[in-house]
């Protein structure tokens, strides 16, 4: 559906509102700006589908009732009785989320009775961290790791003049439950640093466009801002002048953006400044910003992505996977109440397969946000179809202590999004499903990702026949597994081309300062992270995991090479040797990609032509790339190991 001017309607085409728009609706309560948003939504769709927004006292089939002013309450109660569907909420956001729930139900919201049920997000913060630069960066471009064109927020070095698209973005985000956005890159360059001070007006403009959809604006800031912008000689977090500068600067931010969400900080990470330069801890750093934000109700999201990026491959004792846990667990209990430690879901860096970070669950006295990557940096860069719902769901359901799922230990889920100013928002139209799925899993980490995909399919293609839904499931359900099969095997990761990270290069990073990842030699492959003979990383987990990962005999196949260095002849639980597994999965991965392309071609008459063509073109590239991966990985390991393929296939 492309009925919204010059950009795609994604999961909110007008037709998705058909059932709601055909009814007599009443919006009650307030005053509240989000109630006005709800009302405006209904007026718009009623004009299209023949319904009407009636006045209080008139009969209505849909009633949206705002009963209070509690903006922190995002919940709503939905029921249908005596022919009337009612959404009741005590805050404007809840009312808006309730409306979108009714939209998802479609005609189902207006048939029979619905028992009264209250819905509330499991996680209070559902945030996107845009890695957008205001100015185009010479190496990274405008959006760091962006595969969907330029920034939605910034153009020509300033906030976009026409913010209609930003508003539309806020609407899409609200419809999947996202309530916060950081509008600039975590790597804060010179122009972007100034968003905090003399360029705060730009941020206020964006905040104004997102606010009607309940999305709060956050900012990535440089830890060195007092030096860069304030002219101070230091950024020491315990220096009174530095603290006073942050307090005064933050107060001015709130004058410009009264509902500002807070700061995101990447400190002492990949060259960004941080408290280590002053001999201070990361709790000292985070707490200084927390203190500046506290009087205004703001939060600091402090990233735990701290590791040594100047390693030597000959040094086998330094293990990047250990770093976050080693740095942060000694600080448990020291962070302020409005400081949240933001932890990447895996210990490395958004690879196609990683174990869940052992830091998740290891700091019970520290607020936690889990960070995911929706932008497909290491998962095909939105040229490959790779639906990440099942991966994220695995992470969120993982029970770090054997009992409580990770999704319940966090109070925030954060992602690096995949949207840009591309006509289809996400470059690959099917990558829209990733953004939608992220939002819905942040609302309910226990949700079944397949049902979320069903929702996305039904909203995006309303009224389409079951054959389309079947086809989309066939193409997307297993796409993460397919991608894993033709790329780096068994959890080893990082066999990508350095810099841009697209396409295979088995040794691309192996001898670089960023870390060492596979240790392949003529006898075997994998990284020994056991306690007994390796880096000790496996011991960072609580039981039952520490014991399970410690031994190659119990370690799950898919993570074997992450935790162990084994001979090529090592037999997996699957019954195959490691080397045969590598060959087989790489042939299978390409076959699966071929099959997905075939299924997609068969959907041509069910999908609007431009969308179909865009996806079809991306499948060509996916296949080319998958074959390249297969051939490079298989020939590398054939040459290293000297072990032939048991099935005698040609390995290029």
Shortest distance in whole angstroms from residue 342 CB to ligand GCU: 10
**Pairing status of strand 76-81 against strand 84-89:** antiparallel
Q: In the complex with ligand GCU, which residue's Cβ is closer, 268 or 528?
A: 268
Shortest distance in whole angstroms from residue 269 CB to ligand GCU: 6
Shortest distance in whole angstroms from residue 492 CB to ligand GCU: 17
Shortest distance in whole angstroms from residue 618 CB to ligand GCU: 22
What does each C-alpha distance from 572 to 394, 518, 558, 582, 642 come to in angstroms? 21, 18, 9, 11, 19
Q: Which residues contact 370 (CB under 8 A, 6 or more apart)?
A: 342, 343, 344, 345, 360, 395, 396, 406, 407, 410, 412, 413, 414
Out of 213, 245, 305, 600, name the contact with ligand GCU by CB under 6 A.
305
**Residue 379 lies near ligand GCU (rule: CB under 6 A):** no
Shortest distance in whole angstroms from residue 145 CB to ligand GCU: 5
Shortest distance in whole angstroms from residue 264 CB to ligand GCU: 10
Q: In the complex with ligand GCU, which residue's Cβ is closer, 144 or 550?
A: 144
User: In angstroms, rounded to a whole number, what is the distance separating the alpha carbons of residues 387 and 376?
Assistant: 10
Active site residue 349: yes
Count of residues that bind ligand GCU according to CB under 6 A: 9
Out of 194, 216, 266, 564, name the contact with ligand GCU by CB under 6 A.
266
Phi, psi of 516 (to 5 degrees): -125, 135
Q: Where are the alpha helices (DSSP H) in 430-527?
A: 432-443, 449-460, 466-476, 479-486
User: In angstroms, rounded to a whole number, what is the distance separating the alpha carbons of residues 296 and 178?
Assistant: 22
**Residue 186 lies near ligand GCU (rule: CB under 6 A):** yes
Q: In the complex with ligand GCU, which residue's Cβ is closer, 243 or 383?
A: 383
Shortest distance in whole angstroms from residue 132 CB to ligand GCU: 12
555 close to 545: Cβ distance less than 8 angstroms: no
Q: In the complex with ligand GCU, which residue's Cβ is closer, 25 or 375?
A: 375
**Residue 349 lies near ligand GCU (rule: CB under 6 A):** yes
Shortest distance in whole angstroms from residue 129 CB to ligand GCU: 9
Choose the catalytic residue: 41, 129, 319, 377. 377
Out of 187, 287, 299, 375, name the contact with ligand GCU by CB under 6 A.
187
367 close to 411: Cβ distance less than 8 angstroms: yes
Q: Which residues contact 623 (CB under 8 A, 6 or more apart)?
A: 590, 593, 594, 597
Out of 144, 268, 550, 584, name the contact with ligand GCU by CB under 6 A.
144
Q: Is cis: bond before 634, omega within 30 of 0?
A: no
Choose the catalytic residue: 349, 421, 550, 584. 349
Choose the catalytic residue: 58, 69, 270, 315. 270
Q: Is cis: bond before 31, omega within 30 of 0?
A: yes
> Edge-to-edge, what's the strand order for the sheet holding 114-119?
52-53, 24-29, 62-66, 84-89, 76-81, 114-119
H/E segment holding residue 623: helix 609-641
Shortest distance in whole angstroms from residue 375 CB to ligand GCU: 10
Q: In the complex with ligand GCU, which residue's Cβ is closer, 11 or 328?
A: 328
Q: Quickly list DSSP for 140-207.
A: TEEETT--SSS-SSEETTEE-S--HHHHHHHHHHHHHT--EEE-S-SS--HHHHGGGTTTHHHHHHHH
Q: In the complex with ligand GCU, which residue's Cβ is closer, 303 or 564?
A: 303
Q: In the complex with ligand GCU, which residue's Cβ is closer, 61 or 268?
A: 268
The residues with which 424 forms a beta bridge, in sequence order, are none
**Residue 145 lies near ligand GCU (rule: CB under 6 A):** yes
User: In angstroms, rounded to a whole number, what is the distance separating the alpha carbons of residues 495 and 635?
Assistant: 14
User: In angstroms, rounded to a whole number, what is the distance separating the alpha carbons of residues 109 and 104?
Assistant: 8
184 close to 130: Cβ distance less than 8 angstroms: yes
Interface residue list for ligand GCU (CB under 6 A)? 144-145, 186-187, 266, 270, 305, 349, 377
Give the catalytic positions in this structure.
270, 349, 377
């Amino acid at each position: 559906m492309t009925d919204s001017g010059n950009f795609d309607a994604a999961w909110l085409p007008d037709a998705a509102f058909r059932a709601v728009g055909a009814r007599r609706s009443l919006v009650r309560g307030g005053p509240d700006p989000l109630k006005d948003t709800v009302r405006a939504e209904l007026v718009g769709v009623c004009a299209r589908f023949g319904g009407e927004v009636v006045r209080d006292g008139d009969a209505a089939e849909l009633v949206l009732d705002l009963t209070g002013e509690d903006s922190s309450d995002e919940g709503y109660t939905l029921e249908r009785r005596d022919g009337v569907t009612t959404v009741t909420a005590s805050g404007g956001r809840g009312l808006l989320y309730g409306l979108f729930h009714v939209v998802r139900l479609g005609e189902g919201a207006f048939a029979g009775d619905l028992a009264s049920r209250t819905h509330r997000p499991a996680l209070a913060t559902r945030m996107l961290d845009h890695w957008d630069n205001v100015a185009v960066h010479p190496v990274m471009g405008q959006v760091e790791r962006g595969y969907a064109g330029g920034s939605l927020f910034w153009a020509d070095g300033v906030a976009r003049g026409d913010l209609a698209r930003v508003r539309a973005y806020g609407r899409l985000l609200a419809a999947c439950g996202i309530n916060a956005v950081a509008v600039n890159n975590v790597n804060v360059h010179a122009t972007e640093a100034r968003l905090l001070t003399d360029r705060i007006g730009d941020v206020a403009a964006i905040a104004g466009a997102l606010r009607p959809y309940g999305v709060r604006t956050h900012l990535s800031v440089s830890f060195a801002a007092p030096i860069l912008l304030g002219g101070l000689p230091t950024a020491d977090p315990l220096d009174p002048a530095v603290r006073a500068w942050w307090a005064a600067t933050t107060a001015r931010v709130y004058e410009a953006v009264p509902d500002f969400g807070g700061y995101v900080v990447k400190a002492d990470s990949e060259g960004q400044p941080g408290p280590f330069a002053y001999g201070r801890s990361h709790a000292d750093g985070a707490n200084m910003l927390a203190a500046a934000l506290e009087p205004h109700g703001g939060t600091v999201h402090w990233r735990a992505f701290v590791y040594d990026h100047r390693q030597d491959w000959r040094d086998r004792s330094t293990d990047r996977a250990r770093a976050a846990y080693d740095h942060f667990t000694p600080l448990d209990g020291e962070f302020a109440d409005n400081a949240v430690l933001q932890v990447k879901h895996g210990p490395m860096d958004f690879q196609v397969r990683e174990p869940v970070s052992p830091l998740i669950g290891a700091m019970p006295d520290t607020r936690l946000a889990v960070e995911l990557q929706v932008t497909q940096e290491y998962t095909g860069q939105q040229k490959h179809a790779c639906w990440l719902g099942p991966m994220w769901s695995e992470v969120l359901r993982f029970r770090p202590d054997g009992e409580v799922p990770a999704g319940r230990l966090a109070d925030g889920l954060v992602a690096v999004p995949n949207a840009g100013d591309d006509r289809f928002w996400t470059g690959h139209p099917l990558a829209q499903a990733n953004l939608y799925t992220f939002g819905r899993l942040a609302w309910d980490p226990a949700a079944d990702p397949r049902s979320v995909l069903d929702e996305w399919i039904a909203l995006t293609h309303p009224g389409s026949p079951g054959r389309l839904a079947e086809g989309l499931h066939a193409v997307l359900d297993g796409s993460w597994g397919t991608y894993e099969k033709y790329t780096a095997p068994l959890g080893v990761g990082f066999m990508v081309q350095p810099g841009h990270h697209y396409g295979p290069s088995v040794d691309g990073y192996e001898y670089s300062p960023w870390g060492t990842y596979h240790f392949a030699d003529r006898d075997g492959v994998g990284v020994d992270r056991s306690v007994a003979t390796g880096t000790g990383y496996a011991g960072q987990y609580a039981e039952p995991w520490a014991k399970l990962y410690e031994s190659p005999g119990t370690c799950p196949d898919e993570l074997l090479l992450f935790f162990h260095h084994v001979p090529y002849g090592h037999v997996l639980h699957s019954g195959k040797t490691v080397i045969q597994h590598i060959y087989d999965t790489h042939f299978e991965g390409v076959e699966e990609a071929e099959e997905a392309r075939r299924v997609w071609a068969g959907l041509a008459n069910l999908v609007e032509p431009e969308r179909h063509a865009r996806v079809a073109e991306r499948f060509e590239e996916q296949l080319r790339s998958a074959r390249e991966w297969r051939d490079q990985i298989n020939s590398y390991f054939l040459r290293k190991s000297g072990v032939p393929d048991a099935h005698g296939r040609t390995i290029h």
